[in-house]
Amino acid sequence: MSKDPKVQPRYTGIPTFMRTPYAPTLEDIDIALIGVPFDGGVTNRAGARHGPREVRNQSSLMRTINQATGVAPFDLVRVGDAGDAVPDTPFELLAAHKSIEEFYEGIKAAGVMPISAGGDHSVTLPILRALAKDGPVAMVHFDAHCDTGDFYLGSKFHHGSPFKVAAEEGLIDPKKTIQIGIRGGVTDRDIWKFSYESGMRVIHIEEFYEMGLNAVIDEIKQVVGDSPVYVTFDVDGLDPVYAPGTGTPEIGGFTTFEAQQMIRSLADLNIIGGDVVEVAPPFDPSGVTALTGATMMFELLCVSAVSLKRQRGDSTSCENGG
């Protein structure tokens, strides 16, 4: 009973994220893994409210060392599962966002870096409201949609608009924002014009494949520079075969291999947090979406751990945690 859960059979034990210790008090941790079980902002298929539960479940398949990069995040920093940012009032979008924001204010106040599992993409807005209180941050945004839309079905706030609001509220700097994987039909020719007019770098999937992976990675680094940066990964940026369980799938996306290479390139940035959103288990009969989400969260944890350690000026012998 005293063994490290991370080395026991994967199907055993209570599924915290990546089998890290449950740490709701935030004491003794540097990075908090957090669930945000809210999908009141979806415009089509709900289900992302169950995302944190299933990502935790599948995250038992994660291990402790990133074989490709050598990073051992749990050796670099202290990581815990801080539980869920439960929206107290799930029937009211604005109030729900408010309670999520308050949860993350606690995270920020504790000096802990959050890596979150959504929930729909609307939850990134209250997270940013808590994290970017002191000024706009840069953002790396993987997605099929720019999510800089306007009023829809009577609401300014939904999972298609968080980054327009975030920019307007001064939480992100559009000129230091890059959006990758954009595609699919639109109902309004100007739906993403806010992205363009505000100066965001938008890489449609066609341009993505014309540029090639390495050029995209260079572009990310150039756009962000050394600004503090938030990384948000919507699983619908991936092709639906890698993430069928999501609310608004769009065929023709990038692969998990490409996503892994892009995330791994972020270790040099000054990451302040990140999230993986829109995993919707009811539409995921084989569980592959949650497994993908959990692995993306692990990749994000690896680069965030390296970045955090460097930001703190900690340059002990082995950066990889070995």
34-42, 168-176, 220-228, 304-312 -> range binding a copy of itself (CB under 8 A): 34-42
**Cβ nearer to a copy of itself, comparing 124 with 295:** 295
**Cβ nearer to a copy of itself, comparing 48 with 229:** 48
For residue 187, state whether it binds a copy of itself (rule: CB under 8 A): yes
Residue 143 assigned ligand-binding role = yes
125-133, 167-175, 215-223, 252-260 -> range binding a copy of itself (CB under 8 A): 252-260
Residue 147 assigned ligand-binding role = yes
**Cβ nearer to a copy of itself, comparing 40 with 273:** 40
182-190, 218-226, 265-273, 309-317 -> range binding a copy of itself (CB under 8 A): 182-190
Q: Which of 148, 161, 232, 256 binds a copy of itself (CB under 8 A)?
A: 256
Selection from 212, 192, 209 nearest residue 201 by Cα: 192
For residue 214, state whether it binds a copy of itself (rule: CB under 8 A): no
| DSSP track, 214-278 | HHHHHHHHHHHTTSEEEEEEEGGGB-TTT--SSSS--SS-B-HHHHHHHHHGGGGSEEEEEEEE-
How many angstroms separate the CA atoms of 235 and 248, rounded?
Answer: 10
Residues of span 121-140 touching a copy of itself by CB under 8 A: none
Q: Which of 288, 310, 311, 319 binds a copy of itself (CB under 8 A)?
A: 288
How many angstroms separate the CA atoms of 139 and 153, rounded?
Answer: 27
Q: What is the CA radius of gyration of the chain?
A: 18
What residues pair up with 178 in beta bridges, in sequence order? 140, 201
For residue 53, state whether it binds a copy of itself (rule: CB under 8 A): yes
Residue 75 assigned ligand-binding role = no
Minimum Å distance from CB 63 to a copy of itself? 3
Minimum Å distance from CB 278 to a copy of itself? 14
Selection from 55, 84, 123, 71 nearest residue 274 by Cα: 123
Please provide residue 134's backbone torsions phi and psi, each rounded to the nearest 5 degrees.
-90, 5
Minimum Å distance from CB 138 to a copy of itself? 25
Token output for 160: 């298609």
Spatial strand order of the sheet with 270-277 comes to: 79-84, 31-36, 113-118, 270-277, 228-234, 137-142, 172-182, 201-204
Q: Which of 160, 181, 249, 273 binds a copy of itself (CB under 8 A)?
A: 249
Residue 121 assigned ligand-binding role = yes
How many angstroms separate the CA atoms of 211 and 203, rounded?
Answer: 9
Residues of span 72-131 touching a copy of itself by CB under 8 A: 72, 81, 83-84, 86, 88-93, 95, 103, 106
CA dihedral 114, 118, 124, 125 (to 10 degrees): -120
Q: Which residues are annotated as a binding site?
A: 121, 143, 145, 147, 234, 236
Q: Which residues are annotated as a binding site for Mn(2+)?
A: 121, 143, 145, 147, 234, 236
